[in-house]
Structure 1
């Protein structure tokens, strides 16, 4: 399922306290946040591996040992974990070390690194890192941990309430997403995710991260049963529209999108059904950033209900 995990308010508060401590110890820096300073503060070692090159993982372990570290985790174990979970980054708690997959596109490295930093800040995650524990391998547990790391990474990279205040002062549009991405030094995709969360605390907002929606532009491996890379629900959206299938929403987006190779693909008013079966109108806009297509849907109003009255009434 592409839908994001909504954390409990208590869990979010705990994560916020941990991120706040890091930012305070850094002197509450201005954007963009420098992750090398975060690693220095937390004394985290850093390196690269390649999911497509097992030899590089073995070499990484060898170099780490030569550096005087008692590296007990075998390279073969790392290779097995990377392949099993299709990892793009990993945190090794015993050695306080983050490894990034060098084959990943460079723009993704910043988010992947922050995600692993977040894992390092949560002691309850340690048992799940690189392990095959019967509980941590349960999908619901894995999703919970990844949701916490994503939330923590977002709060770190976007400097907590600094981003919240600036985002709420702007119009809720893709143009605002692009502006905030540049200011905070993060990708449009990760900024888009944070905007949906921030703007949608009280107003139902949904965000779709997909390939090109137009039937003529879809990738050869497009799966109509799973059309979204991510289906981002704001807290208010999840509270009232949790039953909406991502397929239905994607199909409505595809109906108005043009075949344009990049840039704006279109906008329209889209009808969505809430959990009680009532119809509501959302304003949707879609923008193609080439590597991904972002669709922002913002609640407008409940659809008026018309009752037919006979002439003889």
Structure 2
């Protein structure tokens, strides 16, 4: 399971400013953003590789040449990094080239490409992009770099504050999430992350990205200890409910979820206990998009205290 990493304010502001310069250069385009135009503006090359085809991967690496010279001094380092880090895409700074894993679902290509554009815009990433086996493969370092590139990708694809203003003008619900996803040309999953971030700026809000929660619909590789692909928390939720685990919340949504193959799986009010031991009411709803289920939990207030009078 991947919990969201909150960046330092200074780092976030720096990245936001860099994305702003890119969008200004493009004339602050209307959504959906055309990434081909972005790559052209930044003079980024583009191609594909296959992480599952060892021969094709090594052939791709072997062809990375500029003016007849091998770009990578140690091509096998790139091959090992792809496998060890389970990379879906690559950015090669020396060649200013983005490579996408063609075996990934097409729906994920847009986010993966924007993620690599993010790496290309952050100068402190350049020395760590697959160039140092002892540095870039350290999990903590890799996670931090990925979080920063994800932040840049989100700011780019959702056009900085434009999406924030539109999202906050709409009621938090799956219908509006779908409207925003279509308007900005992004997946429902990436839109779900951004909606929780902005809808939950002042109030606790939580989101779960999982397989189908119903026991009869789970896949063979379901892990009850880590049932969520992602456990998305708004800053107020993370601050108030840091002791709550993904399993705690997942087990509660299982209680109301039906076994429908798609659409709404159900909704319920659930009590969650904050770090001080106080109970709070959340309105939960789960929606299945066939390949995954999104669950949204919206804070509705403290639990009422019931006092029994003799």
TM-score scaled by structure 2? 0.95
1:287 match: secondary structure: strand
Structure 1 residue 242 corresponds to structure 2 residue 239 = no
Give the direction of change, closer, same or farther, for the CA distance of 1:77–1:135 in structure 2 (3 Å limit).
Answer: closer
2:3 match: secondary structure: coil
Which residue number corresponds to residue 76 of structure 1? 76
1:232 match: secondary structure: strand
In structure 2, C-alpha distance between the alignment counterparts of 1:258 and 1:248, rounded to whole Å: 19
Alignment of 1:216-255 (within 5 A): 216-255=216-255
Structure 1 residue 149 corresponds to structure 2 residue 145 = no
In structure 2, C-alpha distance between the alignment counterparts of 1:102 and 1:133, rounded to whole Å: 25
Structure 1 residue 20 corresponds to structure 2 residue 20 = yes
Alpha-carbon shift at residue 69 of structure 1 (Å): 6.2
In structure 1, C-alpha distance between the alignment counterparts of 2:114 and 2:71, rounded to whole Å: 23
In structure 2, C-alpha distance between the alignment counterparts of 1:108 and 1:215, rounded to whole Å: 27
- Alpha-carbon deviations, 1:87-140, whole Å to 9, x = none? 111111121111100000000000000011111111111222114454544333
Alpha-carbon shift at residue 12 of structure 1 (Å): 1.4
Alignment of 1:88-99 (within 5 A): 88-99=88-99
Is contact 1:57-1:75 (8 Å) kept?
A: no
Alpha-carbon shift at residue 307 of structure 1 (Å): 3.2
- Alpha-carbon deviations, 1:229-268, whole Å to 9, x = none? 0000111111111111000100111110000011111111
Number of residue pairs aligned between Structure 1 and Structure 2: 310
Alignment of 1:168-183 (within 5 A): 168-183=168-183
Give the direction of change, closer, same or farther, for the CA distance of 1:143–1:252 in structure 2 (3 Å limit).
Answer: same
Q: Please list every run of 5 or more consecutive structure 1 residues that lacks an aligned counterpart in the other structure.
A: none
Which residue number corresponds to residue 293 of structure 1? 293
Is contact 2:66-2:95 (8 Å) kept?
A: no
Which residue number corresponds to residue 7 of structure 2? 7
CA RMSD of aligned residues (A): 1.6
1:306 match: secondary structure: coil
Alpha-carbon shift at residue 68 of structure 1 (Å): 5.0
Give the direction of change, closer, same or farther, for the CA distance of 1:132–1:243 in structure 2 (3 Å limit).
Answer: farther
Which residue number corresponds to residue 187 of structure 1? 187
Give the direction of change, closer, same or farther, for the CA distance of 1:37–1:100 in structure 2 (3 Å limit).
Answer: same
2:94 match: secondary structure: helix
In structure 2, C-alpha distance between the alignment counterparts of 1:4 and 1:36, rounded to whole Å: 28
Which residue number corresponds to residue 104 of structure 1? 104
Is contact 2:81-2:137 (8 Å) kept?
A: no
Is contact 1:267-1:285 (8 Å) kept?
A: yes
2:18 match: secondary structure: helix
In structure 2, C-alpha distance between the alignment counterparts of 1:52 and 1:132, rounded to whole Å: 23
Is contact 1:61-1:74 (8 Å) kept?
A: no
In structure 1, C-alpha distance between the alignment counterparts of 2:23 and 2:161, rounded to whole Å: 11
- Mean Cα deviation higher: 221-230 or 123-132: 123-132
TM-score scaled by structure 1? 0.94
Is contact 1:206-1:296 (8 Å) kept?
A: yes
Alpha-carbon shift at residue 63 of structure 1 (Å): 4.0
